Amino acid sequence: MGLTVSIAALLIVLLVVFRLAWSVAVTGPTDARLQSGLLALEDSHQAMLDTDASLRGYLATGDQFFADAATGAAPALAAADTQMVNLLEEPQLRQDVLALLLAQQRWRAEWADQARQLPPPGGAEAFLKQGTALFDDYRARKDATRADTLAAIESADRSAVVNQFVIGVLLALIGIATLVVALRGRYRLQRHVVAPVDGLLASVRGISEGRLAPPEPVQGSAELVALRDGLADMTVALRRQREEAAAQAERLQAQTDRLRTILIMTREIAGSLNTRYVIDSTVQAAVAVTDGRVLLWLLEEDGSGLELAYDSDRGAVAPLEEHCHLGVGVVGRSARYGQISRGDPDTGEDAAVAVPLVVGARVIGILECYDSPEGEVDGQRLSAVEMLATLSGSAIEASRLHAATERLSQFDPLTQLANRRRLGADLDSAVANAKRHGSPMSVIMLDLDHFKELNDRYGHQQGDVVLQEVASTIRTAMRDGETAYRYGGEEFAILVTRGGPEEAAQLAERLRSRVEADFRRGDKQLVTASFGVAGLPEHAGDGEALLSEADRALYSAKNSGRNRVHRAGELVG
């Protein structure tokens, strides 16, 4: 009986040793090679995605930053491809891997290597379509290779489970035979062999099904304890790998979401010339990328500092409410040197990063991003903010230039009053509103008396000064519902939307007196003004007729001796 027990124990040891040897010599290397190849496949694909995105960014913007990023991804791609070549040792994967590497090489040779040429061969649109087709072919090869690799891993796992099960069965049979032959060894055998092995097999099955819990401690031979410890170490390693893979997937998804946010924002502001809308969209996109508070500062017109334009916590900020000098603080440093700057809390600065909005070689603004509860704005989030700043800077500058151009088209550059073109649009709107509500409105036309003589005597430069001073006198006298315009030459117009001819005539008389007083130099009168007043509906039925009647009254005042106010149909003052 003792010999039988010894033989049974020897058989058990031999089976366990055989299984361990099989795992080390066959199963382990194959599994490691497949797992390593799968990770290399994913790393290679990520490097391909990074290279493709960078090259497309370079084709779209011409920014050397993207070309350098594509070049920087090349070592990672080469390393991943070198590791992936190990899959060629698996006969069932050899054809897939070769097809994948050929598709990848074709994409690089026929598209990626030529993408650094501007303009691309064949035109940008055709070249991008060619790149998409080649990348889609590569992606299909990659997906097929990945699927077959996963199938091979799953097959290897199933084989391992079957082998363990067979060994378990053999151990159980030997245990039963040993129990029949030697009842005295039953308890010891059950305790030190069968139960631990069953527990380890259960752990193996659990691992194969994705339950990565370490096996319970076993009592038995040193081999079983070592096997349990090995399973425990393997379980911990697999759990760590799964957590790292999940974290990596989460990071990739977060970066994808950030890039999608930037893409959506870019599409929204691409066709907009509204500066406020572009600024609001930029800040909201930056908040989505950083998960923290964002401020947008714009360079002042004289370039001496920056003013806060938008705060994600408060919305739009009134002009000149907050000011920052160049070179002072994290925002000022970033604006002066055109580089990313991070605040130093040890010196009293906020924990924020400032990213410049650069157009050409000029900084036009700063995105100040505060750290979120999740941590600092760095890594992929900072890269996304830099991309956002590059895209939004051009959009903000374009909208501001458009606004300046629009203002120049509607305002007189000498007097800073609205011009005749603006008067036409405002007059049509005021007439329509007056007719709709049945309310009175008026127009005042005024002309400077003997202005040609002033120009001839003192020169046109002095004449321009007088026009500017008259415009200032008129502007300071305006109230709600009253707007002044330079009509042309030395002639001005005033639109009164909240009063009839009587109120307009009173305003004209006040202005006449102020011009007369402001331009008296001792016993000399440099300039005076004559006024004509017409009202709706008393004197005209539309805007053009109203201007005509006011102009007629003006010339009546000039023909009556100048420096007076005439109302259409009668003399006033």
Q: Torsion over CA of 15, 19, 21 and 23, rounded to 10 degrees?
A: 180
Establish whether 223 is a catalytic residue: no
With contact defined as beta carbons under 8 Å apart, do 492 and 486 qualify?
A: yes
Cα–Cα distance between 81 and 59 in angstroms, integer? 26
List the beta bridge partners of residue 560: none
**Residue by residue, what is the 3-state secondary structure of 237-248?**
HHHHHHHHHHHH
Per the CB < 8 A criterion, the answer to whether 219 and 191 are in contact is: yes
CA–CA separation, 392 and 95 (whole Å) = 47
- The helix-helix angle for 2-22 and 222-270 (nearest 10°) equals 20
Q: Which two tokens stand for residue 5?
A: 């027990």
CA-to-CA distance for 103 and 219, rounded, in angstroms? 54
Catalytic: which of 90, 397, 482, 490?
490
Residue type, 17: V
Q: Which amino acid is at 471?
A: A
Coil, strand or helix at 338: coil
**Please, which residues have CB within 8 angstroms of residue 569's CB and are 6 or more apart in sequence?**
539
CA nearest to 336, candidates 297, 310, 371 = 297
φ, ψ for residue 80, nearest 5 deg: -65, -40
* Structure token pair of residue 349: 């600065």
* Helix boundaries (H) for 123-189: 124-181, 186-189
Tell me, what DSSP letter sits at residue 432?
H
H or E element, residue 498 = none
Closest CA to 115 of 46, 50, 30, 56: 56
Provide the 3-class DSSP secondary structure of residue 449. strand
Residue 341, number of CB atoms within 10 A of its CB: 23
For every residue of 369-417, DSSP letters joined together read EEPBTTB-S-HHHHHHHHHHHHHHHHHHHHHHHHHHHHHHHHB-TTT-S
Rounded to an integer, what distance in angstroms lies between the CA atom of residue 300 and that of residue 350? 23
Residues known to be catalytic: 490
